[in-house]
Amino acid sequence: MSKNTADSQSSVVSQSATDVSASHAPQAATAGPAAEEFVWKRKHLLGLEDLSAEEILHILRTAESFQEVSTRSIKKVPALRGRVVVNLFFEDSTRTRMSFTLAAQRLSADVLEFSAKASSVSKGESLRDTVRNIEAMGVDTFVIRHPAGGAPHHITQCTDCHVINAGDGQHEHPTQGLIDIFTIRERKGRIDGLNVVIVGDIAHSRVARSSFWGLNRLGAKVTFCGPSTLVPRTFEQFGAKVTYDLDAALKEADVVNMLRIQRERMTSQVFPSTEEYVRLFGLTRERMKRAKPDLLVLHPGPINRGVELASDVADGPQSSILRQVSNGLAIRMAALFLLNQVG
């Protein structure tokens, strides 16, 4: 793509987000000339494993330019006016679905909400036919959550629309990974060189995978921690450190991300008792006293209070859990905007 294309993308971001504040364009360009010349070329956002450091940083910079939109009395910019976004959710969701809906609406896009339980899928219609029939109505972007890993990749083969992976099986959840990275960068001022500990059911977590790929690409040191049955050492071959001692990991940690333990996992044989999990891996106020005083606490939600972390930690000054939710809108606005600039 030409420099004119790069200038066009930059000007649309600036105009969209700065219809109300001229400060956004400089924010998006703070990384210097290379940032200004970078052109987003991907039509889909399927995961962070395949993204370069510059692509990840470009999403973060674009999100910064949209961040202030949510603080205004009129929370809209015209960036995607006339475009149609479909939330294609085959799993239950509250935060992610609402976040994508609000993100699209704040970009002035129209939004269609799809529920598998109330659709022709319940009558036996295939994923391919569902997508092609909705596409025939003249839509532009599919945001898909599906229990099968690889489902978003599959539908890119049968549609000309943009596709965003909102979580597929145990594979990836790229926008949540970007939210975590964005929040860390916002609070710590950098990613490179930070020690990030991710705690919980790593084996089944798409959030852990996306966060790892993004953090690793930007130079952070990632440690996975949890019960040995849920944190296999195979992750070490990808560059992560694996430990089963949370107290030891927290001594060097700059950030700790506590993953939700699914209730169905709590009753399985791979999971210790809830009491034992809390004793060994729960983030309590007492355990926080032995960590760095500026340790940043994250959780992708929803929280099992008293299991992954204590309420006084979740609501404490070192927690940025609600900030993650706020930042989710800016990240998803950035993703929707960037993809829709690509033909």
Chain Cα centroid distance, residue 3? 29
Report the residue count for the chain: 343
Model pLDDT, residue 116: 76
Chain position carrying tokens 């699209």: 104
Model pLDDT, residue 78: 97
Query: Which amino acid type is present at position 242?
Result: V
List the alpha helices (DSSP H) in 19-126: 24-28, 33-37, 53-66, 95-106
Considering Cα of 7, then 13, then 15, then 18, what sign does the dihedral take? negative
Phi, psi at 164, each rounded to 5°:
-120, 130
Q: Give CA–CA dist 276/198, Å, rounded.
A: 18
The answer to whether 271 touches 304, Cβ cutoff 8 Å, is no
Model pLDDT, residue 123: 64
Within 80-230, strands assigned E span: 84-89, 110-115, 141-146, 162-168, 195-199, 221-225
- Ranges of residues in the chain with a pLDDT under 50 are 1-3, 17-35
Model pLDDT, residue 41: 97
Which tens digits make up the pLDDT trace of 78-90?
999 999 999 999 9
Model pLDDT, residue 24: 37
DSSP 200: S
Q: What is the H or E stretch that residue 241 is in?
A: strand 241-243
- Please work out, in degrees rounded to the nearest 5, the angle formed at the alpha carbon of residue 274 by the alpha carbons of 195 and 268: 100
CA-closest candidate to residue 13, choices 1, 24, 2, 3: 24
User: Per the structure block, which two tokens stand in for 336?
Assistant: 């929707």
Question: pTM here?
Answer: 0.89
Model pLDDT, residue 31: 42
Model pLDDT, residue 35: 45
Q: Please, is 34 exposed, middle or buried when counting C-beta atoms within 10 Å of its C-beta (0-12, 13-18, 19+)? A: exposed
Strand, coil or helix: 65: helix
Model pLDDT, residue 82: 98
Chain Cα centroid distance, residue 265? 22
